[in-house]
Amino acid sequence: MVDQRRIDNQRSRLDARAAASRLGVDVRTLYAYAARGLVRSYPGGQGRKHVYEREDIERLLARKQARSGHGAVAAGALRFGEPVLDSAITALTPAGIRYCGHGLDALLSAQVPYERVAELLWTGALPTETTPMRAAALPWSRIDAVLPERATVLPRLGAIAAVLAADSGRAEKEPLAAARTIIATLAIGLAGRDPARARQALRGSSLAASVALALGRDPRPELVDAIDVALVVSADHELNASTFAVRVAASTGASLAACVATGLQVMTGPRHGGASRLLEDWLRRAGPAARVAAHLREHLRRGESVPGFGHPLYPAGDPRAVALLARAARLRSRGARWRGVQALVEAMARNDHDAPNLDAGLVALGAALSLPLGTVGGLFALGRCAGWIAHALEQRAAGFLLRPRARYVGA
């Protein structure tokens, strides 16, 4: 019987000469890359020398060329999932992320709050004034009653969105007002099963302040600013998995709350919103900051990747992570967990491994704020609500049902 998996593995791997040629280096340099964990290698079998993972070779080549200023290569990395829909919301370019024509870096420099960034995504125009977001009154105790005691933040937010969706008929007459209510209500939901924190969060002066209060943190300016940055950089990222699912839901005529609930369910997957928790678990197993580098070496020696690092769209580094790491470094509340994240980022950079992505930036911020493990996934989801709603509104305006076709490959 033919072992198809073995055939697929052989096709995805290169021998030493081909791998070195692809990278433009000699074989000794290739061996050094493999020893440092940059390229996975495997025994060739039947007397053959080692073979090397083609995916790692291509990723390393893209990073090297992008760092050398090859703009076309960086642009080519953007094509790893060819666009399937026209959209005027977010552009991912070699020069950075742009929300409706506004550079993300410029929005952060101008300290544009999340509420206004959300309105920009929804309307295409950046407002000069901030419209407050007010939460809906929900039966919080009844929501908690149907959730398991061990329910994490993302399933809880999903349950809240489902409750909002069940009573969204009247609110849909004013979609932007409904959008604000959805986001504000989910922010209160970050308080978990603590009604006192939820009541405090309702009195927040901004959405970021409400989030700080919901998480049991003092809403001092530097902390609120860091949370606001986390929400803004998470707001949209074009057609990622959860956003595409939201657009499919919106194309059927589902309510905004139902669309958000769809996005939240998709985000529970470990390859999307759950990636930050994987990194937190990795750091917990690594132990104190002094042991992180050794744990990393052993991890890479086994040919395993590190969650929270590397992104096919950003071979030279994720700008969202840069912004979050900078804000986390300014906080006075940094402790042992923060030092662990910092040690990992430094060890990865020192050995020319993948740069941190958004998940690592969120984990760094959560560590600096001493947030409970798993909480930053909720921050990510809350921020992304702005983009989900923008894409739902855009899909509604497009007026067609999203129904992809399958390419049949069966018997």
What tens digit of pLDDT does each residue of 56-74 get?
888 777 766 655 545 454 4
Domain identity same for 150 and 32: no
Domain identity same for 250 and 182: yes
Q: How far, in Å, CA of 264 to CA of 157, rounded?
A: 7
Domain identity same for 102 and 229: yes
Domain identity same for 13 and 128: no
Stated pTM of the model? 0.80
Contacting residues for 230 by C-beta, under 8 A, at least 6 apart: 324, 327, 361, 362, 365, 376, 379, 380, 383
Domain identity same for 296 and 151: yes
Is 313 inside a domain boundary? yes
Q: How far, in Å, CA of 64 to CA of 25, rounded?
A: 12
What does the angle CA 160 – CA 165 – CA 167 come to, to the nearest 5 degrees? 105
Domain identity same for 177 and 259: yes
Q: How far, in Å, CA of 41 to CA of 34, rounded?
A: 7
Is residue 2's pLDDT more than 60?
no
* H or E stretch at 104: helix 104-109
Domain identity same for 264 and 368: yes
The mean pLDDT value of the chain amounts to 87
Domain identity same for 285 and 328: yes
Residue 75 binned pLDDT confidence (cut-offs 50, 70, 90): very low
The whole-angstrom distance between residue 252's C-alpha and the CA centroid of its chain comes to 26
Residue 76's pLDDT is 46
Residue 77 binned pLDDT confidence (cut-offs 50, 70, 90): very low
Residue 95 binned pLDDT confidence (cut-offs 50, 70, 90): confident
Domain identity same for 29 and 166: no
Closest CA to 260 of 342, 159, 366: 159
CATH assignment of the domain containing 108: 1.10.580.10
Most confident stretch, 14-18, 260-264, 312-316, 353-357: 260-264
Please write down the HEC assignment for all residues of 291-306: HHHHHHHHHHHCCCCC
* 171: DSSP letter: G
The lowest-confidence range among 1-5, 12-16, 183-187 is 1-5
* H or E stretch at 91: strand 90-93
DSSP 251-318: HTT--HHHHHHHHHHHHTSTTTTTHHHHHHHHHHHH-SHHHHHHHHHHHHHTTPPPTTB--TT-TT--
Percent of the chain at pLDDT > 90 equals 58
Domain identity same for 122 and 230: yes
Is residue 38's pLDDT more than 90?
no
Is 87 inside a domain boundary? no
Is 80 inside a domain boundary? no
What does the angle CA 52 – CA 57 – CA 60 come to, to the nearest 5 degrees? 140
The whole-angstrom distance between residue 258's C-alpha and the CA centroid of its chain comes to 21
Is 86 inside a domain boundary? no
Domain identity same for 295 and 203: yes
The lowest-confidence range among 2-11, 127-136, 299-308 is 2-11
Place of tokens 């969060």: 201
Averaged pLDDT for residues 114-121: 98
Percent of the chain at pLDDT > 70 equals 89
- The answer to whether residues 18 and 50 touch, using CB atoms and an 8 Å cutoff, is no
Residue 1's pLDDT is 47
Contacting residues for 193 by C-beta, under 8 A, at least 6 apart: 144
Is 236 inside a domain boundary? yes
Domain identity same for 315 and 360: yes
Is residue 8's pLDDT more than 60?
no
Domain that holds residue 105: 94-411
What tens digit of pLDDT does each residue of 306-363 get?
888 988 888 778 999 999 999 999 887 778 899 999 999 999 988 888 899 999 999 9
Is 78 inside a domain boundary? no
Is 394 inside a domain boundary? yes
Calculate the alpha carbon distances from 256 to 102, 183, 262, 271, 280 in Å.
Answer: 25, 11, 10, 24, 31
Dig out the tokens for 105 from the structure.
């870096």
Place of tokens 């005529």: 253
Closest CA to 86 of 383, 399, 318: 399
Is 175 inside a domain boundary? yes
Residue after which a domain boundary falls, among 68, 85, 118: 68
How many domains is the chain partitioned into structurally? 2
CATH assignment of the domain containing 53: 1.10.1660.10
Is residue 127's pLDDT more than 60?
yes
